[in-house]
Amino acid sequence: MNMKRKRQYKQLKGIVLAGIMIVLIFTVLVKAGEHTATTPKEPTTVRQEYMPFYVLDWELKTFLSYDTTDTHTWVEDSYTCEQFAEDLSNNAKAAGIQANKTILWYNENKTQGHVIVCFTRGNQKHFVEPQTDCFLFPEINQYYNGHRIINIEIQ
């Protein structure tokens, strides 16, 4: 009986290790695909993903799933992207998660832009659209909401 349990434990351990290896290989392949060259003719847009599986920060994902900021209604000149970002970052800070409003600037004189939230977790930064809870992967010269990003300012 005891030998049978040891054999089952070894089999289970092998299955778990194989699963971990598959996730790691897939993550490497996904990351490698992110760095492929694009033709200069085609403007790239900011990639958006809702709860991507390879973001392994379960505390952040759990916080976002319970936070209700994304259910608020956008109101012109009253409750816009800035208020969404302010509420989400304040709620995160109250939960003990470091968050900062982040502006994606669309022009050099900083009069047009969009506000999102940057969660800093260790040495990683996760950008989130507070109106949808989608993870964003913004880069300068990419397009978001039809505008080219000139600068990314984490406040």
Q: What CA–CA distance (Å, rounded) separates 108 from 114?
A: 14
The better pLDDT of the pair 56, 144 is held by 144
**Does pLDDT of 12 surpass 90?**
no
The count of other CB atoms within 10 Å of the CB of residue 59 is 12
Strands (E), the chain: 47-50, 99-105, 113-121, 124-129, 134-137, 143-144, 147-148, 151-154
Domain boundaries, the chain: 1-36, 44-154
The mean per-residue pLDDT over the stretch 118-139 comes to 90
The answer to whether 66 touches 88, Cβ cutoff 8 Å, is no
The class of domain 44-154 in CATH terms is alpha beta
pLDDT above 90 covers a percentage of the chain that reads: 45
**What is the predicted pLDDT for the residue at 41?**
47
The mean per-residue pLDDT over the stretch 58-81 comes to 91
pLDDT above 70 covers a percentage of the chain that reads: 66
Query: What does the chain come to in residues?
Result: 155
Q: How confident is the model at residue 22 (pLDDT cuts 50, 70, 90)?
A: low
The mean per-residue pLDDT over the stretch 131-151 comes to 91
- Given strand 134-137, what is the order of strands in its sheet? 47-50, 134-137, 124-129, 113-121, 99-105, 151-154
